[in-house]
């Protein structure tokens, strides 16, 4: 029996472990929380991050890195973006060149402004050709419930993406391959920031037309930045671009949209984030997104407004008025499709 190791026992990591088990793999889940292996062994459920979804007790949750990855054919990293680097570093020396490495974490690292692919390359440069990155419209609860889901798997070597596709593809979760790592990663990261803006708009009662406008102009922001960074603009029309954007900006399960709604109720970003068990990645990503935009000389007014509201306490309604009173633009200004 082939073995898959899932690194990170949050809601999405747990749901992916459940999917891997349903395909017949021997599954181990590494978790930071010391008491979680005992809870799962007793209840067959991750009551901390994914309550209400039971799974086979043969899916073992462990705290020891070596125990988690020893003998694995595929190692799947799914910690929060802020913890990917220090989590991955725990596994240096335990990973061999024979193992495939798949990262499903979405985000951009604070300070370095690195995509998660760049963080993984930085930690495991010798394993670059074995790496792939998973993104696309997927709520953990939908995956855990066995609802139909489509995802994009990007790799530096397309043959690696195809190998992972063969392992994880099913009639429930369809995996599509892609060789545009930057595009897949960036789409899966920036959409979280835009979902905060949509949550604000919805809670302020601006209507569905405003939400659609935010999503569409947000997609233009992603595309401007992505093409400047070398991504294929077509990627942003796919699962990890417009697909993930639609889900995160409209779905009631979206932590980022919820954060935006609570901001519109008058709460501060710090208050909201500190009260959450799971991370709203849009809050974490807003700052490095704005820094990348400055680095590449890209206009990203919606993302910038979210950053200023979350980190500088900018007034919501004044931020909206500023966006609406920007000078006239050509719809595709600044998007390089060459």
Residues 6 or more apart in contact with residue 309 via CB below 8 angstroms = 200, 263, 269, 316, 319
- The pTM assigned to this predicted structure is 0.95
Q: What does CATH list as the number for 190-324? A: 1.10.1040.10
Helix axes 181-203, 281-296, angle to 10 degrees: 120
Percent of the chain with pLDDT over 70: 99
Residue 98 appears among annotated catalytic residues: no
Residue-wise DSSP of 116-167 = HHHHHHHH-GGGGGGEEEEESS--HHHHHHT--EEEEEEESSHHHHHHHHHH
The reply to whether 3-179 and 190-324 are identical in fold is no
Could you report the per-residue pLDDT of 76-113, keeping only the tens digit for each? 999 999 999 999 999 999 998 889 999 999 999 999 99
Cα gap 190→97, rounded to integer Å? 31
Domain ranges within the chain, ordered by starting residue: 3-179, 190-324
pLDDT of the residue at 209: 97
pLDDT of the residue at 329: 87
Q: Which of 21, 163, 191, 287 is catalytic?
A: 191
pLDDT of the residue at 1: 61
Name the CATH topology of 3-179.
Rossmann fold (3.40.50)
Which regions of the chain are under pLDDT 70?
1, 337-338
């Amino acid at each position: 029996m082939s073995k898959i190791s899932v690194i990170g026992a949050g809601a999405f990591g747990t749901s992916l472990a459940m999917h891997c088990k349903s395909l017949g793999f021997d599954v181990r889940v590494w978790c930071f929380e010391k008491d979680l292996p005992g809870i799962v062994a007793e209840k067959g459920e991750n009551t901390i991050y994914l309550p209400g979804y039971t799974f086979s007790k043969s899916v073992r949750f462990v705290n020891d890195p070596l125990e988690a990855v020893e003998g694995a054919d595929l190692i799947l990293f799914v910690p929060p973006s802020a913890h990917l680097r220090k989590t991955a570093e725990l596994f240096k020396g335990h990973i061999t060149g024979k193992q495939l490495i798949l990262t499903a974490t979405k985000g951009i690292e604070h300070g370095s402004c690195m995509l998660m692919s760049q963080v993984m390359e930085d930690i495991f440069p010798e394993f670059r050709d074995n790496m792939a990155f998973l993104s696309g419209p997927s709520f953990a609860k939908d995956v855990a419930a066995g609802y139909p889901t489509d995802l994009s798997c990007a790799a530096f070597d397309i043959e690696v993406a195809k190998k992972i596709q063969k392992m994880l593809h099913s009639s429930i979760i369809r995996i599509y391959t892609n060789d545009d790592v930057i595009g897949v990663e960036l789409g899966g990261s920036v959409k979280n920031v835009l979902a905060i803006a949509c949550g604000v708009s919805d809670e302020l009662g601006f209507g569905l037309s405003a939400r659609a406008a935010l999503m569409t102009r947000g997609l233009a922001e992603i595309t401007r930045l992505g093409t400047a960074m070398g991504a294929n603009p077509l990627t942003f029309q796919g699962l990890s671009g417009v697909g993930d954007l639609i889900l995160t900006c409209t779905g009631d399960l979206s932590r980022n949209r919820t954060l935006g709604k609570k901001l519109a109720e008058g709460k501060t970003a710090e208050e909201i984030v500190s009260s959450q068990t799971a991370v709203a990645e849009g809050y974490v990503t807003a700052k490095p997104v704005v820094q990348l935009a400055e680095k590449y000389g890209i206009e990203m007014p919606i993302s910038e407004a979210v950053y200023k509201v979350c980190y500088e306490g900018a007034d919501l309604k004044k931020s909206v008025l500023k966006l609406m009173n920007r000078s006239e633009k050509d719809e595709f200004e600044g998007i390089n499709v060459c």
